[in-house]
Amino acid sequence: KNYHFIFRTIGRDDQQGPAAAKFIAEKLKPKKVAVLHDKQSYGQGIASSVRDDLKKAKIDVALFEGINAGDSDYSAVITKLKGAGVDFVYYGGYHPEMGLLLRQAAEQGLKVKMMGPEGVGNPEVNAIAGPAVEGMLVTLPADFAANPKNAAVVKAFQDKKRNASGAFQLTSFAATQSLLAAIKAAGDSPAKVADWMHKTSGVDTVLGPVSWNKQGDLNSFDFQVFQWHKDGSKSLAK
């Protein structure tokens, strides 16, 4: 909508989707993929992005279909996945439905790897999926806390009993760094701060150098793929 005063320090769905598709195409190399979504703007939007990039990579997307969020029984879609002979499933949506898909797929003997966006990366998915959650793939912002350059900031978080690796912690810190840099460069006039942020070639932050397009979205953002484990932990997928 081209709001002049709004900026983000988190990547868009159309940056997260390609990161997922790239990992699927280059690392997993499935023969036949199903892309599911929850028929909502977030889930369907990112699922569409993944589907389009998989097609560009010449990956066979055999099924693109919506499910109803909030349902308790997805056996019909599991049956359809089995019938289509897919060997990989991407789901655009949130953790309650992903948990059920994982659990019911395991119960029906569908042994495929499943992946979702950061909306599925919630500890509550473990309670829903049970052991079937092991190996679920999820795209999340990179673990910026692991960057040695951020050691002092991470320690400052720890001193306040805060987890710098937690959701939105360092992205929020980067937003503050960006505003401070803009105020130092342009003064405290909101209009001048916004003008400077739109025009800057980059601000040095805990995320690395950041800059924005005319819509206030980041020109680039580092999404990575993680593997989810049944004990609730995650590790970088390779």
Q: What tokens does 90 get?
A: 């991407």
The answer to whether the beta carbons of residues 141 and 116 sit under 8 Å apart is: no
What would be the CATH architecture of the domain defined by 13-142+223-236? 3-Layer(aba) Sandwich (3.40)
CA distance 181 to 193: 9
Q: What tokens does 113 get?
A: 């790897």
With 0-12 / 13-18 / 19 or more C-beta atoms within 10 angstroms meaning exposed / middle / buried, residue 155 is exposed
Nearest to 2 by CA among 233, 215, 237: 215
pLDDT along the chain (238 residues), means of 10: 92 93 97 97 96 97 97 96 97 98 97 96 95 97 95 98 91 98 97 97 97 96 96 91
pLDDT at residue 1 in the model: 81
pLDDT at residue 167 in the model: 80
HEC profile of 204-237:
EECCEEECECCCCCECCCCEEEEEECCCCCEEEC
pLDDT at residue 183 in the model: 98
pLDDT at residue 168 in the model: 87
Query: Domain residues of the chain, as ranges?
Result: 13-142+223-236, 145-210
**Distance set, CA 35 to CA 72, 82, 190, 219 (Å):** 19, 13, 43, 27
pLDDT at residue 238 in the model: 87
pLDDT at residue 2 in the model: 81
Q: What tokens does 22 get?
A: 């790239």
pTM, two decimal places: 0.88
pLDDT at residue 166 in the model: 84
